[in-house]
Amino acid sequence: MIKLTAVFDIDYIKYAVASAGETRSIKAYHPIDGTEFVAKSRTELWGHYLKKNKGLLAEHNQKNGTEYTADELVVIDIQVPEPIQNVKHSAKSMFESVMYHLNTNKYKAYIGKGESWRVGRSTILEYKGNRKDNLKPLLLGEISDYLIQRYKCEVVEHLECDDKVVMESFNKSDHVVIGIDKDYAGSPVNWFNPNYYQNGAVNCNKFGELFLNPNGEVKGYGRLFLYHQVLHGDSSDNYKSNSANPSFEWGEKSSYKLLKDCKTDKEALEAIKKGYQIIYPESRTIKGWRGDDIEVDWKYAFNENFDLARMLRYEGDFVVGTSVMEKLKVI
């Protein structure tokens, strides 16, 4: 029996244990009269992050006849970390649990640092630009150093960890990517998601399938899931198919309906072409995230999202999406 090599995108362990290894709360006050609020989270304080019209703030307004709004409050984040040894133990347990489940002692580990090349590639919306205000765990640096030292992690810069582990695992049947990022579902690798042990290692190096969950969320694997990512987008990474035409409604189900019955790459790319032409029936000029004017048509938007969604298989693996369409005679 061939021993598997676990190829860790160890960032998921880093963020999971550092986040769990601290207690968070917030204190807020009104700058004019000094009224204070203490809550476990912003959601507890004012409800939905867009509407901001419920929670403790709404209760206070109703009780006291005030009309405070969330935007008026000064909010202070409070973070209280656990002892670092507890957090290190959690990281070690998560790592060893995967190794035990795969019944192997062979591994490679990678950890990310700095900005991805995709930030430079993005022009419509800044790649992962919606994460800039996210609160970072206090122990993130210390736990990163611990993981690097204990597991001899290779530090990945410029590329994303996702790219590096796919490069290391591409065309290697005895290598399994370990990570929780859904981008792996659309990459040509064997993928083990530690959040779903029951699924085992899934071979994603095939055309694949899509599934629509009862809650409307689309799941899947293989190139068909990659095509879905390209046609729908990924809000967590801050790119969408309708980013340059945001008033045009386009959700997961819109992508799913066009792609679900596709059986070949050509059919899937024809569906993607159809979708992008619906969203962009004609060229339009927009302001890019850097403030420059950009002329966007369906090909422009498709090519950008194709680059942002697709993981690299090897160094220099940059492919123009429309060139793939041309090769398959889709355009």
* Domains contained in the chain, CATH given: 1-21+83-205 (3.40.50.1010), 24-81 (no CATH), 219-331 (no CATH)
Mean pLDDT of 308-326: 97
Q: How far apart are CA 9 and CA 22, in angstroms?
A: 22
Decide if 208 contacts 223 (C-beta within 8 A). yes
Model confidence at 2, pLDDT cuts 50, 70, 90, reads: confident
Q: What six digits make up the tokens of 189?
A: 């690798």
pLDDT, tens digit, 9 for 90 and up, residues 95-148: 999 999 999 999 999 999 999 999 999 999 999 999 988 899 999 999 999 999
Model confidence at 48, pLDDT cuts 50, 70, 90, reads: confident
**pLDDT given at position 211:** 95
SS3 76: strand
Tell me the percentage of the chain whose pLDDT exceeds 70. 100
Mean pLDDT of 68-72: 93
Q: How far apart are CA 96 and CA 93, in angstroms?
A: 5
Spacing of C-alpha 316 from chain mean position: 22
Instruction: Answer whether residue 1 shows pLDDT above 90.
Output: no
Mean pLDDT of 255-284: 98
Tell me the percentage of the chain whose pLDDT exceeds 90. 95
The CA radius of gyration of the chain, in Å to the nearest whole number, is 22
Q: How far apart are CA 111 and CA 120, in angstroms?
A: 20
**pLDDT given at position 49:** 79
Angle at 68 between CA 63 and CA 73, to 5 degrees: 125
